[in-house]
Amino acid sequence: MEEFDAIVVGAGPAGCAAAYVMAKAGHNVLVLERGKFPGAKNMWGGAFFGPVMNELFPGFWEEAPFERFVTRHAISFLTEQDILSIDYKSDVTEPAEKKGFITLRAKFDKWMSQKVEQAGAIVASGLAVDDLIVEGGVVKGVKVGDEQFASNAVVLADGVNSLLSEKIGLRKAYSPHDMKQGVKEIIRLPREVIEDRFNISGTAGVAMEFIGSCTRGLPGGGFMYTNLDSVSLGVVVQLSALMDTQIKASDLIEDFKNHPAIAQLIKGGQTAEYSAHLIPVSGLKMMPKLYDNGVLVTGDAASLVLGTGLILEGANFAVASGMAAAETVIEAHRKEDFTRDELSNYEKRLREQFVLKDLQTFSRAPQFLENERIYQLYPELACSMARKIFSSDGKPRENTFKVLRKSLGKQASMWKMASDMIKAGRAL
């Protein structure tokens, strides 16, 4: 049986980060990826912030395939006929690494895996790990069909469904309340059309989030990102809400595309790809055991996703957790100790840096974000107030407070709304 210093399952951002750091430190690393190539199974909304990636690959934007920098960020409330947006654009020149990067995963993950190979690791694609080799409660390697590969250190970066961490008892089965389903289309449009419609040029790009009618009031939201010559457009919805209402995400994305404000932006575009993925959204509540004898869990497999309202941030957490797992394995090799006591340093590392600190800070967010008023009542309220304020029926005007009170009607009291705002302040 071939033996490695470390085996990494999955060549996404978490797995590549772990493998890269370990290979750089001189370790003999095997990465197993079930896709035909790294990135073939991966999708996301569209963008990540630069600093963590820059720590892993300094100056990465010079060579990494990315579509555009995020220079404009818009958040919009939607009803079936209206849109009310907060549109943020800044001319403050930030250093490149601090910017947001819009990328396509099939290209970006492939590039990351090439960096891993250049650092000396073996990246084997088209190989799905079926099981872990466990002897006396200690993980000793992996099984791929009839083949076995041995290692004292196995890093699980096998994504949101992580069948392997469930198999060895590091986590229980997931509940539909802990998951959001994202569906997305890549819609191709000529580059100049995108730049005209979104008012951007060069490497500038736009990130947009939507809340309200795009999910028919179900917990979740819509998103749109400008790529170089396409847009990524999709919706993200709580899985349990899809079950309860029997609404399909595939219908929601069609409605979203047909919303007057969206239809205008994608007019004439051709769909090139349709994708779907789950997102673990319950934070610390659903986090599995992060380590055991001979094994560490990273990225989506460890449910390391931060939801702070409209934005779900996972890629940075994946990369940071992969790096922390790698440092833990490197130290374990130095001490020749792969017991769970030694590997518990992985969780300590995550607690010292932003990964578990952020999840702790926003630990009340997942529960707060289940409040249906956020997705139904408040977007309608915001739009109907805007409609009243920006139109005139020729009669004397009422003050804003009265408009708000009338718009609220019987749907919720002012007290309820004030209490939601206080809760939002605490949770977000």
Partner 1 sequence: MKVEDKLALNKFDVDRDVHITVNDVVCVECELKPCVSVCPAECYVIRENHMTFSYEGCLECGSCRIACPKGAIDWVYPRGGFGICYQYG
Residues 14-43 that bind partner 1 (CB under 8 A): 34-36, 39-43
Three-class SS of residue 381?
helix
Paired tokens of 299: 């990225």
CB of 109 to partner 1, least distance (A): 7
Q: How far apart are CA 100 and CA 205, in angstroms?
A: 9
Other C-beta atoms within 10 Å of 217: how many?
Answer: 20
- C-beta separation of 100 from 69 below 8 A: yes
- C-beta separation of 283 from 306 below 8 A: yes
CB-wise, 101 or 362, nearer to partner 1?
A: 101
Binding mask 147-186 vs partner 1 (x if CB under 8 A, - otherwise)? -------------xx-x---------xxxx--x-x-x-xx
Q: Does 242 bind partner 1 (CB under 8 A)?
A: yes
Residues 343-402 that bind partner 1 (CB under 8 A): none
Q: How far apart are CA 79 and CA 176, in angstroms?
A: 27
Q: Does 259 bind partner 1 (CB under 8 A)?
A: no
CB of 232 to partner 1, least distance (A): 8
CB-wise, 107 or 416, nearer to partner 1?
A: 107
**DSSP secondary structure code for residue 81 in this structure:** S
CB of 250 to partner 1, least distance (A): 5
**At what angle are helices 345-352 and 354-361 packed, to 10 degrees?**
60
Q: Which stretch binds partner 1 (CB under 8 A): 122-130, 353-361, 368-376, 406-414?
A: 122-130
Paired tokens of 217: 């009031």
**DSSP secondary structure code for residue 175 in this structure:** P
Amino acid letter, residue 98: K
CB-wise, 191 or 426, nearer to partner 1?
A: 191
Cα dist from 349 to 155, 300, 324, whole Å: 15, 17, 6
CB-wise, 29 or 233, nearer to partner 1?
A: 233
Q: Does 275 bind partner 1 (CB under 8 A)?
A: yes
Q: Does 144 bind partner 1 (CB under 8 A)?
A: yes
Q: How far apart are CA 20 and CA 29, in angstroms?
A: 9
Instruction: Please count the CA atoms within 13 angstroms of the CA of 379 that sit on its side-chain side.
Output: 31
Q: Does 98 bind partner 1 (CB under 8 A)?
A: no
Q: Does 238 bind partner 1 (CB under 8 A)?
A: no
Q: Does 246 bind partner 1 (CB under 8 A)?
A: yes
Any idea which residue has 């300094």 for tokens?
A: 58
**Gyration radius of the chain over CA positions:** 23
CB-wise, 278 or 382, nearer to partner 1?
A: 278
CB of 287 to partner 1, least distance (A): 17
CB of 161 to partner 1, least distance (A): 4
Q: Does 127 bind partner 1 (CB under 8 A)?
A: yes
Instruction: Please count the CA atoms within 13 angstroms of the CA of 161 that sit on its side-chain side.
Output: 7
CB-wise, 27 or 180, nearer to partner 1?
A: 180
CB-wise, 40 or 122, nearer to partner 1?
A: 40
Q: Does 10 bind partner 1 (CB under 8 A)?
A: no
Q: How far apart are CA 104 and CA 232, in angstroms?
A: 9
User: How big is the chain, counted in residues?
Assistant: 428
Q: Which stretch binds partner 1 (CB under 8 A): 207-215, 269-277, 328-336, 404-412?
A: 269-277
Residues 6+ positions from 176 with CB-CB distance below 8 Å: 238, 239, 240, 243
Instruction: Please count the CA atoms within 13 angstroms of the CA of 268 that sit on its side-chain side.
Output: 8
CB-wise, 220 or 379, nearer to partner 1?
A: 220
Using CB under 8 A, count the residues that bind partner 1: 51
Q: Which of 5, 82, 109, 209 binds partner 1 (CB under 8 A)?
A: 109
Binding site for partner 1 (CB under 8 A): 34-36, 39-44, 104-107, 109, 125-128, 144, 160-161, 163, 173-176, 179, 181, 183, 185-186, 230, 232, 239, 242-243, 245-250, 254, 271-278
